[in-house]
A and B are shown apart, each in its own frame.
Chain A
Amino acid sequence: MKVHLTALFVWLFLLGTADAQNFFGLLNDAHHFASAGIHAYPHLNASIDYLYASGHREGVLQRFGMITQVNFPLFSQKGFDFDLRVGAGALIGISGQFKTLTGLTWSLSRTADLNGRYFHSGFKVDLLPGYYGGKWAIAPHLSVNYQPLVHIKHGDYPKRAFQDLYISKDGPFTSPQDGWYRQSNLTLQTGIGIAYFRPRWNVNLIAGFQSQPNSIGLSTFADIGMMPFYSGLNFGYAILAE
């Protein structure tokens, strides 16, 4: 495949990504809802969600739910990742069929690759204010993902980078450092969510662009004329009879 090489470099080296939760089960009437999805963030993931929801689609706080999600990578050169998310979401009525889906989730993730293994944790806020009809919903998607804490266990590869660093064999830096670290891993997403739902199931698509503030003055949109994308296709079904 021919690729815009500069865009590929931006994706590979200059951007963070963030997983997305499936709160669209709040549009259904069931209490127990399971869903599965495939995602490109733009790396490829699969996810399984469980949502417990209550309430009716009336008033202001129409539906409220607790969600658990597990993410798995679909392709990996090395290592096995998982991403566990728990949180709460709500369907809030604003005016008639203008409503908003909101969600707040906390994540605990293990990511592994050629450089090492990472445990990281953070939270994500999702907001989908828009049209929520009887069968269809369409809404802009805005989210903020913040991962302030990461534990790093370096593999052999980055350790070898420190070998023979000094001609005199004597210097202060001899190995990369393992441990817990603070960071500013902030990812912003803006896109659109579309859902078709029936009483016991729904299918939804969410897609958009994402960016991560950096300290090197790179403006992704201006540089490559586009921004890295995220997308997800989910199918949800009420798993227990009401």
Chain B
Amino acid sequence: MKGLVFWIFSLIGFSSCHKIDDLGVLVPPTVDQDPHLPSVSVKVARKQRLLHVRAFGHPQNPTLFVLHGSFTDIKPYQNLCESLSDKYHVVTWDQRGCGLSERITEEEFTLETAVEEVEVMKSIYSPNKKVTLIGQSWGGGLATLYTSKNPQNVEQLLLIEPMPLTGTDMQRLFKTIVDFRYDNGSWNNLARHGQAIGLRGHEQIDYRAMMMLRSTMTAGYHCDGNHPPEWPVRRVGGFVEYVRNKRLGNPISGFTYDFTQGIHSYPDTVRILGGSCSSLGYSMQLQYSKAHFRHAEVVEIKNAGHRMNIEKFGDVMAAIKSFLKAY
């Protein structure tokens, strides 16, 4: 009888626990789950999805898009957006499947649909006028790709440490970006995390992927690789990171992408910012990225790594404003 009572109480206790994938247990909900968040509905890849969007400045000002990088959302760019809002209508959004935007399926993400997403956002926020693009890292690659396909739509293009812009460049630089070792503590922590929390859905995947931002596996990005600067995200899109990397290729069978095909038809000067510390910094941008454009200039941000807009906000804003026409 005592045994039966024990098991009944155990069963009640177990069933009264909340489920780990309930909203807000691990990560903030996405816009389709929390209507308090600002969103815009877009149709991309023939699917209607909600994007988490923030806009700054007067809508009558020229429109400027800020495109975020990989393993992030728009939160770390908020200061940058606010700083430019006196002269621009700054619009930034969590790309599909990233941050607080609605999650997508694998089929919905290709490089073509990423460009389509930017085009759809332009049709909403600046349907009749050109937009200025600022993109960082992957966002820099996307901004370049969009410009190469739609040069007539881009007023100005500024890239903050864009990722290698072609697969050939990536193949040469890969070793400096990812240095994988089995004895790396970050790798072991990330892999071990699966013993505690199963990875059935996006909440669990994003929760785990967020740790990558403090990982020492990409030490080459930072001035002090063992202590990466804080990068204050709300939520990353772990599954989209996986899909994106699948689309871009890999160092064994080769990287197959090219963001620069057609970029020579863009007539204006492109400004590229590179940190003095990062493996994707000033030297790399000067050697690899600059040559892809008809006119480009590379500006060095001293004592900064890949997260320069957090580390050296004043210097980065000075380099941005000295380039933008509205200033």
Contacts and interface: CB of A to CB of B under 8 A. Distances in A.
Interface of A: 1-6, 8-19, 40-44, 73-79, 81, 83, 109, 111, 113-115, 118, 120, 147-150, 152, 157-158, 160-168, 170-173, 176-177, 179-187, 212-218, 223
A120 B27 CA distance: 19
Contacts of A115: 193, 207-208, 210-211
Contacts of A148: 14
Nearest to B185: A77
Contacts of A213: 200
Contacts of B246: 6, 223
Given A3-B180, A150-B196, A181-B17, A43 B191 contact: yes
Contacts of A9: 241-242, 245
B25 A5 contact: no
A75 B34 contact: no
A22 B152 CA distance: 66
B324 interface: no
A237 to B, nearest CB: 27
Interface of B: 14-15, 17-29, 34, 36-38, 54, 75, 105-106, 174-175, 178-202, 205, 207-212, 214-216, 232-235, 238-239, 241-242, 245-246, 250-252
Given A14-B205, A150-B20, A214 B200 contact: yes
Nearest to B103: A216
A40 B182 CA distance: 9
Contacts of B22: 177, 181
A72 to B, nearest CB: 11
A33 to B, nearest CB: 25
A214 B199 contact: yes
B175 A75 contact: no
Contact of B234 (A42, A44, A77, A165): A165
A10 to B, nearest CB: 7
B109 to A, nearest CB: 12
B198 A11 contact: no
B312 to A, nearest CB: 21
Contacts of B27: 158, 161, 176
Contact of A6 (B23, B184, B242): B242
B291 to A, nearest CB: 25
Given A2-B251, A75-B184, A111 B195 contact: yes
A15 B18 contact: no
Nearest to A167: B38
A114 B197 contact: no
B234 A161 contact: yes
29 contacts: A2-B251, A3-B250, A6-B246, A6-B250, A13-B205, A13-B208, A14-B199, A14-B239, A16-B198, A75-B184, A76-B189, A77-B186, A77-B188, A77-B214, A77-B215, A78-B185, A111-B196, A113-B211, A114-B211, A120-B195, A152-B20, A166-B37, A170-B36, A173-B28, A176-B27, A180-B17, A181-B20, A182-B14, A183-B200
Most chain-A Cβ atoms within 10 A of its Cβ — which of B18, B181, B200, B234? B200
Given A12-B187, A179-B18, A160 B232 contact: yes
B28 A165 contact: yes
Contacts of A216: 201-202, 205, 239
A12 B238 CA distance: 10
A111 to B, nearest CB: 4
10 closest A-B pairs by beta carbon, nearest first, are A185-B198, A77-B185, A16-B194, A43-B191, A118-B196, A181-B20, A171-B36, A111-B196, A173-B24, A183-B20
Contact of A12 (B106, B174, B212): B212
